């Protein structure tokens, strides 16, 4: 094969890769636009967790029930914002100060211990990606976050996030979490209960097994900050 033929094949391969990437992002955009108006039946994270559960029990199901924004306690909305993303109302999807602090903390520890992800970034990952950590996944997460922040308002972002975020092994969304941990509906969560649920979010499958003193203290701090958390 001569040099000209090799060059032609390289261009074809690169063009093919370009088309695959283009169509993937057009598919993502179409889904983001759809979800602005229609509630998701499932997410990428839900599909992954369900597959894991069914490896052990073929009849396993997820605990998940969608509830509208107004049926979720304002306490939980404030607690999640206070715990996960204090500048949620004001940022464009990225908390640049938080990212900088996370990078400095990770550098100091010599390993990833902080992420600096906003609610919008976490939602992007939960809806379409996987828990695996890689630079490619972070790049995809950033692209989807821009799409979501462009086409959704903050109320819709928080509504979808609170309904699909993982709150335990096979437990997804505020309603399932409220029923799982307190045997009440999501609109009846107290400030203390909401703070408890909010601090579980970084590692819900671990924290559902036990709530130690350090986490309890963190929940108390979050509860004290909730009054200042602005909700959409």
pLDDT tens profile 76-90 = 999 999 999 999 999
Q: Is the dihedral of CA 226, 227, 230, 232 positive or negative?
A: positive
Q: Residue 1: pLDDT above 50?
A: yes
Q: Residue 124: pLDDT above 70?
A: yes
Report whether 79 contacts 191 (CB < 8 A): yes
Report whether 178 contacts 186 (CB < 8 A): yes
pLDDT tens digit sequence for 186-202: 999 999 999 999 999 99
- For residues 105-115, average pLDDT: 56
168 vs 107 pLDDT, higher one: 168
Q: Residue 110: pLDDT above 60?
A: no
The predicted pLDDT at position 17 comes to 84
Report whether 161 contacts 150 (CB < 8 A): no
The predicted pLDDT at position 39 comes to 97
Instruction: Band the pLDDT of 136: cuts 50, 70, 90.
Output: confident
Helix (H) or strand (E) holding 172: strand 171-172
Token pair of 229 as six digits: 């958390």
Q: Residue 70: pLDDT above 50?
A: yes
- For residues 42-53, average pLDDT: 96
The predicted pLDDT at position 134 comes to 85
The predicted pLDDT at position 105 comes to 63
Q: What percent of the chain has pLDDT over 70?
A: 89
Q: Is the dihedral of CA 22, 23, 24, 25 positive or negative?
A: positive
pTM: 0.90
């Amino acid at each position: 094969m001569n040099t000209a033929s090799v060059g032609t094949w390289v261009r074809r391969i690169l063009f093919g890769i370009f088309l695959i990437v283009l169509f993937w992002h057009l598919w993502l955009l179409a889904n983001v636009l759809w979800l602005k108006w229609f509630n998701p039946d499932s997410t990428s994270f839900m599909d992954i967790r369900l597959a894991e559960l069914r490896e052990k029990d073929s009849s396993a199901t997820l605990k998940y029930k969608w509830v509208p924004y107004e049926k979720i306690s304002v306490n939980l909305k404030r607690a999640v914002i206070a715990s996960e993303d204090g500048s949620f109302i004001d940022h464009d999807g990225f908390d640049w100060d938080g990212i900088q602090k996370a990078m400095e903390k990770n550098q100091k520890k010599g390993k990833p211990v902080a992420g600096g992800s906003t609610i919008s970034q976490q939602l992007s990952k939960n809806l379409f990606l996987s828990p695996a950590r890689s630079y490619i996944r972070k790049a995809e997460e950033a692209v989807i976050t821009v799409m979501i922040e462009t086409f959704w308002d903050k109320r819709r972002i928080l509504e979808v996030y609170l309904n699909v975020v993982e709150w335990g092994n096979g437990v997804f969304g505020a309603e399932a979490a409220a029923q799982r941990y307190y045997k009440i509906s999501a609109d009846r969560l107290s400030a203390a209960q909401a703070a408890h649920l909010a601090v579980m979010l970084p590692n819900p499958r671990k924290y559902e097994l036990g709530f130690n003193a350090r986490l309890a203290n963190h929940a108390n701090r979050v509860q004290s900050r909730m009054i200042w958390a602005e909700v959409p």
